[in-house]
Chain A
Amino acid sequence: DIQMTQSPSSLSASVGDRVTITCRASQSITIYLNWYQQRPGKAPKLLIYAASSLQSGVPSRFSGSGSGTDFTLTISSLQPEDFATYFCQQSYSTPFTFGPGTKVDIK
């Protein structure tokens, strides 16, 4: 199975900050990497797919980059509604595994 790790596990930030979250796969997954946002009590929401493609309706302050084993999710200017937990997920091969999540909370 492909193992996914994320760093940091949590971070505190202020509105307007630039935030970067890293995801690493245990083997190359080319660009088969997706990012989800989960607010408390809600289902996950797809933000980025294929490493860098923005899902329809998602604000442009979210961006993704990377290929192979190392990937990054960037929020260019953190907004109040962005305080949530972020998960990466590999869609390269079954089982489709998720990272453990990065919780972004208010500083």
Chain B
Amino acid sequence: EVQLVESGGVVIQPGGSLRLSCAASGFTFVDYSMHWVRQVPGKGLEWVSLISWDGSRTYYADSVEGRFTISRDNSKNSLYLQMNSLKTEDGALYYCAKDKGSTGWLFDYWGQGTLVTVSS
């Protein structure tokens, strides 16, 4: 059974830094690209970032480019999101999602999310 478990969400002040983690199990982690997707509770979904299976390629939404860094440790089956210079609008539930590895980039398994609140 595929499991994705996010952690690291906290209440943090604007301008602060935070690192989210996602522990993956139930599939061969190294074989798949991975994503972060966020959602303000009660609102829509926003794709944040993508990392290829080997970490050689990364992509970001314009809203986080230059402030967030996605990374992975395939030896630990773990995905990370380093978030710097946080803004109030970065507050959301952050989901780790596995790429299906099929037609285009899409998310076939999701974690339950970790909540980031950015507030002074």
Chain A contact residues, CB within 8 Å of chain B: 1, 31-32, 34, 36, 42-46, 49-50, 53, 55, 87, 89-92, 94-101
A91: B residues at CB distance < 8 A: 103-106
How many positions in chain B have a CB within 8 Å of any CB in the partner chain? 23
Contact with A98, one of B44, B62, B108, B111 (Cβ below 8 angstroms): B44
Q: Is the interface of B mostly helix, strand, loop or mixed?
A: strand
Chain B contact residues, CB within 8 Å of chain A: 35, 44-47, 50, 59, 61-62, 95, 100, 102-113
**CB-nearest residue of chain A relative to B35?**
A96
**Do B104 and A43 touch (CB < 8 A)?**
no
The CA of A97 and the CA of B106, in the complex, are separated in Å by 11
Q: Is the interface of A mostly helix, strand, loop or mixed?
A: loop
Contact (A49, B113) CB under 8 Å given A89-B45, A94-B59, A98-B47? no
